[in-house]
Each structure stands twice: as C-alpha cells, then as structure tokens.
Amino acid sequence: MAKPKVASDWLAGCAGCHMSFLDIDERIVALTELVDLRATPITDLKEPDESGVDVGILEGGISNTYNEEVARKMRARCKILVALGDCAVFGGVPAMRNFEGAEAALKRAYIETESTDESGKIPDDPELSTPVHVRPVSDVVKVDVFLPGCAPSADAIFHILSELAQGRIPEVTGEYNDWH
C-alpha cells in the first residue's frame, strides 16, 4: 500500500500550530515512514498536488478572499481535511477583529499606529485580497477532523497524524481536546 499523502497550509494564523507540529521532535522520523509529506509552508513544495492528497491540514482562520481560495483548493485536492488549531476550528485570535470590523482593524494598523506619520494609508492595490468577516475553515469548506488548541499539543498532532496514517479517522477526546 502506498503511503498516504499529507499536505498542509496556513491561513490567518500565527504559524504556531506548525511549530507545535515540529515539536513532535524525533517522532517525525517515524511519521515520514508512515506518510508522504507533500506541500507544507515549511517545505519546498507550496501547493498540494494537483493529483490530490489523502490528508489536507489547514492552520488559521479565514480572514480574506485569498484564505477562502486556499481553503477551497485544499478541500478540492484532499480526501480528509483537518482544521488544525483554534483559529482554523473557531476563528481564533484573528476573529477578535469581528467585534470591531475589518475597517477599524486596518485603520488601527496602518494609520493610527503610534509609529505612523500623516502619510499612513491603508493598502489598496487591486491585486491584494479583500478582508472578510473572520470565520473558521468549516464556514467555507467541509471539515472532517477538528483539532482545537492554541496551539494543539505536539502529542495531539502526532495522535491525529498517526491515526490518519493508519487509515483511521482520529477521535479528538480527553487531553487531545483542549481549547486553551
């Protein structure tokens, strides 16, 4: 049997979940024997194979139109989609913006910052994606496995990956279900 292919990407997150993934330490060696790690933000290949992967993992919430696109692409190219971490599962820290609105957040960041002078300006290049109401990944595409946590522990990440590698849908219970 061919090793299951796994790809991951990050959306509106802090990369902390991927760092926590790296915290599985030497177990990564065992893991690579079980799975074929394909595109991830921390490897050279950046996009999931067009031919598809078995498991897609997304960190971060949906905060702009680009995130929506990435999420849709990952969903289209994977069989099982994992939402990794509180931002992907709930919206997380970026979702704090929803209470004030994206406009207010941009204004604070680009105009009102203490270090910004009168020339402060909200970027408006047409190539830039548009901010949206921050949502969990499951609001845009169907999610099969939710692993909450900020970040989920290395043990929890190893648990779901090893379960998936062995062809099982992981159960996220007990200490693995920790929202922080």
Partner 1 sequence: MVTLTIDGNQVEVPEGTTVLEAAEKLGIKVPRLCHHPSLKPYGGCRLCMVEVEGARILQPSCTLPVSKNMIVRTDTPKVREARKFVLSMLFSERNHFCMYCQATDGDCELQCAAYEQGLTHWPLTPNYSPYALDASHKQIFIDNNRCILCRRCVRVCGDMVGNFTLGFEERGANSFLVADYGLPLGESSCISCGACVQICPTGALMDRGSAYQGRETDLNSSASVCTECSIGCQRYVRTRDNRLVRIDGVWESEPGEGLLCKKGRYTPLEPKPERISAPEILQNGNHAQATWDEALAEAAKHLKNAADGAVLFASAKLPIETLAGLKASFSGGLRAEHLYLTDDDETALASVRLAEELHGPFEAKLNALKNVDVALLLGCDLEHDQQVAGFFLKRQVLDNSRIITISRQDKPLIKRAALKIQQKKGSSFDLVTGLVSGWHAILHEGDKLAEENLAHLEEKTGIKPAKIREAAAMLKEAQNPVVVIGNEFVSLEHYDALVRLVLFCKQNEFPVMIIKRHANSLAAAQLGYKPAAGSQPAKAAFIALGDEEPSAALLEQCAQIPFLVVSASHRSALTDKANVLLASAAWSEEGGNFLSTEGRLQTRVAALDAPEGVRSTKAVADALAAALGVSGKLDWMSLLKQQPSPVELED
- Which residues lie near partner 1 (CB under 8 A)? 83, 86, 89-93, 95-96, 98-100, 133, 135-136, 138-139, 143, 146-148, 150, 172-173, 177-180
Task: Pick the closer one to partner 1 by CB: 37 or 81.
Answer: 81
Which backbone phi and psi does 164 adopt, to 5 degrees? -60, -40
Cβ proximity to partner 1: between 146 and 158 the closer is 146
| Of 138 and 153, CB closest to partner 1 | 138
- Kindly tell me which of 56 and 92 has the beta carbon lying closer to partner 1: 92
Is residue 12 within 8 Å of residue 64, measured between CB atoms? yes
The residue among 108 and 180 lying less far from partner 1, judged by its C-beta, is 180
CB of 86 to partner 1, least distance (A): 5
Q: Tell me, what amino acid is at 55? A: V
Least CB distance from residue 63 to partner 1, whole Å?
13
Please give the radius of gyration of the chain, using alpha carbons only, rounded to the nearest integer.
17
- Smallest distance from the beta carbon of 176 to partner 1, in angstroms? 9
Question: Where do runs of H (alpha helix) occur along the chain?
Answer: 16-22, 27-34, 65-77, 85-90, 102-110, 154-165
> Which pairs with CB-CB distance under 8 Å and at least 24 residues apart come from 27-34?
27/158, 31/158, 31/161, 31/162, 31/165, 33/3, 34/3, 34/4, 34/162, 34/165, 34/166
Distance of closest approach, residue 169 Cβ to partner 1, in angstroms: 12
Smallest separation (angstroms) from partner 1 to the CB of 24: 20
